[in-house]
Structure 1
Amino acid sequence: MTLVQGSDYARLLRAARPLITHLFGVFFCGNSFSIAHFDYSGIHISPQFFILPNDSTGLHQLIRVFLRMTMEMSPYELGCDPTCFLEPSTQTYYQAQFPSFAVTMRGPGVPGSEKPNTAGTVRTVGKPLFSSHSFLGRGTSVWLAFNEDTHEPTILKNSWRTPDRDSEITIYQKIRERIGDEQVRGLATVTGGGDVYFKGEPLSIATVRDSPALLDPTETNRVLHRVTLSQVGKPLYDYTCLEELGIALLDALHGMPMVHS
């Protein structure tokens, strides 16, 4: 498998499982192998290890890699988002129906604990309404969810933002400051969100890689960001008649000038 093929496979796997932070891949080429780490800012590849008849070093390394990945590493070390949990925990990724997740919205985690503060938790319902298929970038996914605090349905948006730009929640807050309590047709109402914290720090690419030193100067230290919206509808492509499609497009046209003004 080439690096291009492996990257494409990682892209598709992340699209199918959006609530993961990174992936590992093992590449074999002849009598050598390398380990690759994939996240939303790039790829890191280990040095080559050679499996030679008269040198068992490479073989020992390969055995260590497989033992580490299959028996020692935690789900979070393997790429599961530490702020998301299968809900209920008896679910699996391999069941007939798409599993449900308890997703923590924001706020510092409990110091010294693997489990973050559960205040502000939403539970996803079904498969994502949208999941980005891009290899690099924001990795956006949109979910129908249930707010555990208000007991109301909500829309959850999950993405990796660049730290040098206004976050989505900040943009919505600026719009709200401008229009006050006015209800604008086609403009979504934000009910919560912000940067996601784990163990008291923003969950970023540097956190995922477990060291800021592993972040190349040319790479972006993206931060995980979540927003919930009160309006719950359905994807645009699920319209049942032209009237529904037309109304949705008109709503979008009404809301766009307010966003850009």
Structure 2
Amino acid sequence: MQGCDASVLLDDTGDFVGEKTAPPNLNSLRGFEVIDAIKSDLESVCPETVSCADILAVVARDSVVLTAGPSWEVPMGRRDSFSANKAAATNSIPAPNSSLTDLVAKFQNVGLTLQDMVALSGAHTMGKARCSTFSSRLQSSSNTNGPDNNPDFLQSLQQLCSGSDIDALAQLDLVTPATFDNQYYTNLLSGEGLLPSDQILVSQDQTREIINSYAEDTSIFFEDFKISMLKMGSLGPASGNDGEIRHNCRVVN
């Protein structure tokens, strides 16, 4: 949460607290072993050259490309942090039940615009979420967390989450869950945004206008997503003596 410095990859130790156990990350972020494998391969052929922070930025791009999304040139040269900040991760990452005002403020606090927020939210065309993260969407078909709620959609979620397993998972995009496309925005307009913080985006004219443009034209969404990813990827990266190139992404050298 200090910037694009791979702080989130650091493991907790006896005298060090990382960000992995911060509430927004716990039981949510996965795939750390994939980063470990990439780093191991890189260190074997090109040691102390490619940072974990750069690996994360490239992997983010490649995961989009491999699922039929757009590509972009990733600027390189980030360095890895010496520390992490659990408190910042806890307080600064938008919660799934965030109000629109809170969402806008948290993006603006790091220099990202309203348009960046809506474009980057489109990453929710992929992935899954636990029932506990969208429970407020299930309270009733007339809940007020977002307009244009779809009663049939909410009923299907209630059935999924009716058991005792609060960690049951739902697709963020039920229609094309394995494809990076603009279906997320179509879902919002149909009242089928999974997270309250997704569906709330259609509650304001300005954000709804952006959503309409993305739902109507995939190319507009792809172009804006690329621009916003590049902006987000340049938020306060460590450089020079402020960072290092870790040998192991989970621990400081």
TM-score for the superposition, normalised by structure 1: 0.28
Q: Which has the higher contact order (CA 8 A, sep 6+)?
A: 2
Higher Cα Rg: structure 1 or 2?
A: 1
**Of Structure 1 and Structure 2, which has the larger fraction of its residues in helix?**
2
TM-score for the superposition, normalised by structure 2: 0.29
